[in-house]
Amino acid sequence: MGRTGVMGDGWNHKYVLEEAQRRQETDDPLLRDLLSEMRNLNMGGNAGGDLKHDHEAAGGNFKDDHESVGGQDFQEPEYPSPTSSSIKVDDLLKPKTHTMTLLKGGRVFALENGRYARISIKDFQLFVHSLKSDLQILLLHSVILPMNDIVPQTPPCRVFLDLQWPNNGHRGRVIIHLFSNCSLSQQFLLLCTGQRGLSYVDTPLLGVWKKGKEGERVLGGIHIGNEEREIAQLPKLNGNNTSKPYWKGDVLARKTSGSLNAQFAISTRDLSSPAKSGNVFGKVEFGLDILQNAAKCDTVTHIRIVDCGVVIPIRT
């Protein structure tokens, strides 16, 4: 947890530049555009050539032109920056003033295989959002850290789902504790982080089972379609070794094989005589009321998971 993140401050963007150069060979248009932009800005040292040399060769005075714009002295915009040009993962877990400023300003990201995950902070917790390929989310003067150094590789851990009602309506966050030693929770974690390509982002709730009755469950997950190959790369679902009673707030797999193996159910009402299941892999810690309200909605399939990721507590 002590590896260093790179401060994307214009001249020290080497980590992203190397990633862009590596990925350029795959014809990734987003990373190719990023590399081109970085060269234009002379990020990463000499990757884009010596701007000063090129400017002077064209007959200009680099220093004079750089320092005077419109008759006024040119000043770089002020951004929060640490005493050095980098921070460590441990700085996120026990953030001080400048790290808090970066987090609250949306300038901390995790990187994995050319994709980026935004890291936000709320209620003394870090939220590592699902990986995205859209490099427009990456801001200059940002801190970039390796994804694997931040998020847990296996449960137990906590994850979150952000639900959005239709027409930009109500939005609520659900936090789930995932149990250990279970392929079901491992798959759910990967679908929250997006580390295997797929994620729950932009997927609708799939319905309500036993609506308004004992044992009611809200259903969600991914429909098998063009994603069947990607889902095959996820951990195989073997269920838990032993069955146990499940209660309101428990998270279960809909099935351990077949076409529903990337779908889940969250119990929103208790049974008078609790049933047992070997497919329980998590428990809602926060936001059960949001799911209960969703279960009452006549258009529950119009409610979408608009974001998801991992929750990491801050050390006090």
Burial tier of 74 (Cβ tally within 10 Å: 0-12, 13-18, 19+): exposed
Question: Strands, DSSP E only, in the chain?
Answer: 4-7, 68-69, 72-73, 86-88, 108-112, 115-122, 125-129, 143-146, 157-164, 171-178, 203-204, 207-209, 217-221, 244-245, 250-253, 263-267, 276-277, 280-286, 304-313
Other Cβ atoms less than 10 A from the Cβ of 307: the count is 22
Mean pLDDT, range 245-252, rounded to an integer: 90
Q: Is 31 or 197 the better-scoring residue by pLDDT?
A: 197
Q: Residue 310 — pLDDT band, cuts 50, 70, 90?
A: very high
Task: Answer yes or no: is pLDDT of 135 > 80.
Answer: no
pTM, rounded to two decimals: 0.73
Task: Answer yes or no: is pLDDT of 51 > 50.
Answer: no
Burial tier of 235 (Cβ tally within 10 Å: 0-12, 13-18, 19+): middle
Report the distance separating Cα 174 and Cα 177, nearest Å: 10
Report the distance separating Cα 152 and Cα 182, nearest Å: 14
Report the distance separating Cα 84 and Cα 66, nearest Å: 25
Q: What is the domain partition of the chain in residue ranges?
A: 4-149, 157-313
Q: Residue 309 — pLDDT band, cuts 50, 70, 90?
A: very high
Domain 157-313 has CATH 2.40.100.10: yes
pLDDT attached to residue 284: 98
Least confident interval from 74-83, 136-145, 148-157, 268-277: 74-83
pLDDT attached to residue 76: 38
